[in-house]
Amino acid sequence: MTEASWERRHVLSLADFTAAELETVVQTAVSFREVLSRRTRKVPALQGVVVTNLFFEPSTRTRSSFELAAKRLSAEVLNFAPGTSSLTKGETILDTAKTYLAMGTNLMVIRHQESGVPQAIAQEMDRLGSGVGVLNGGDGLHSHPSQALLDLFTLTLTLDPDNPSSTLLKGKKIAIVGDILHSRVARSNLWCLTACGAEVHLAAPPTLLPPGLAEAFITQSPLAIPRPIYQHSTLTPALAGADFVMTLRLQKERMTQHRLPSLREYHQHFGLTRDRLEICQPTVKVLHPGPVNRGVEISSDLMDDPVLSLISEQVTNGVAVRMALLYLLGVGKGE
């Protein structure tokens, strides 16, 4: 198992991830994918490690995927559900995290509707000298690292199933379409894809992609590497010649203002259909992090297309990638 280029205690954002670290995640996920294809899909790598899922915001795939990943690594898993917890009695989030620490938690996976909560818990865990590793399972509009990493893994497997590597993304054109304003998935993908040398084209109506977002992103980069990001207010220039197209859910629950005339009109201009993909590379594939609004950001038949759509593969690959992350942060903690 490769452990090259890995010194992190937490995974909170991909903004400062180097190409070498991304490759470590990909290669570790390759090993675990092989484990998942065996008859006994389990390894003792994290025996004795306690993984706690602290999901303060709803989730289907991310929470279940982290849970399954932890179980496949033989870790013990605790799942926190805010509705039935002492949060309803006024306990603070930090006190909740400290309660799980006192039970012997080694790794915490945290999702919260506010940006910065996983970071705050990680700081507190460090201040206490606890040795706990924190994984961001999605915070507000900020970051969703495990989703971008499973997207990366899916792209590399599509480009070369026998020898997947993040280096294969160099020079590839990737379009990200839709509700970029509210998308932590898009933000994490921007860091990840550009660190691998891909060229990213964003397309959305200006209400969902504020002018200057791409420039702001480039100037905020903590690493001195080129980040080729282009932004468009129509679909065609983003799709022309694209190798991959990633579409995003319209996050109606985060929309504080009326940002779209109608869902029908949105689909007419930005919805992905088989016809619209004709100007992409002939080998183009479509991704979506889910959950999907069928017929809004993507047509129902394209979503279910077994050749063009990678949506199910993304979910499957999520388990191997989350095994990789839990392993990289948790190995040795159960002893």
Residue ranges binding ligand NCD (CB under 6 A):
61-62, 138, 144, 147, 184-185, 249, 251, 289-290
Neighbouring C-beta atoms of residue 9, cutoff 10 Å: 13
In the bound complex, what is the minimum distance in angstroms from residue 208's beta carbon to ligand NCD?
13
In the bound complex, what is the minimum distance in angstroms from residue 247's beta carbon to ligand NCD?
10
Q: What share of the chain is helix, strand, coil (3-state, %, to 5)?
A: 40, 15, 45
By beta-carbon proximity to ligand NCD, the closer residue of 134 and 185 is: 185
In the bound complex, what is the minimum distance in angstroms from residue 241's beta carbon to ligand NCD?
26
Q: How far is CA 304 from each of CA 64, 80, 158, 270, 317, rounded to the nearest angstrom?
A: 22, 33, 17, 18, 17
CA distance linking residue 168 with residue 157, whole number of Å: 10
Residues linked to residue 112 through DSSP beta bridges, in sequence order: 139
Q: Which residues contact 94 (CB under 8 A, 6 or more apart)?
A: 120, 121, 124
In the bound complex, what is the minimum distance in angstroms from residue 47's beta carbon to ligand NCD?
28
Q: Which residues contact 74 (CB under 8 A, 6 or more apart)?
A: 42, 43, 44, 45, 46, 47
By beta-carbon proximity to ligand NCD, the closer residue of 124 and 139 is: 139
**End-to-end alpha carbon distance in the chain:** 19
In the bound complex, what is the minimum distance in angstroms from residue 174's beta carbon to ligand NCD?
17
In the bound complex, what is the minimum distance in angstroms from residue 256's beta carbon to ligand NCD?
16
- State the virtual CA torsion across 235, 237, 243, 246 in degrees, nearest 10: -30
In the bound complex, what is the minimum distance in angstroms from residue 111's beta carbon to ligand NCD?
8
By beta-carbon proximity to ligand NCD, the closer residue of 144 and 285 is: 144
Q: What is the DSSP string of 231-274?
A: EESSSHHHHTT-SEEEE----GGG--S---S-HHHHHHHH-B-T
By beta-carbon proximity to ligand NCD, the closer residue of 26 and 150 is: 150
Q: Which residue is nearest to ligand NCD (CB)?
A: 249
By beta-carbon proximity to ligand NCD, the closer residue of 238 and 248 is: 248
CA distance linking residue 125 with residue 130, whole number of Å: 5
By beta-carbon proximity to ligand NCD, the closer residue of 49 and 272 is: 272
Q: Where are the alpha helices (DSSP H) in the chain?
A: 19-36, 61-72, 93-102, 117-127, 145-159, 184-195, 213-220, 236-239, 263-270, 300-303, 311-330
In the bound complex, what is the minimum distance in angstroms from residue 137's beta carbon to ligand NCD?
8
By beta-carbon proximity to ligand NCD, the closer residue of 34 and 253 is: 253
By beta-carbon proximity to ligand NCD, the closer residue of 25 and 180 is: 180
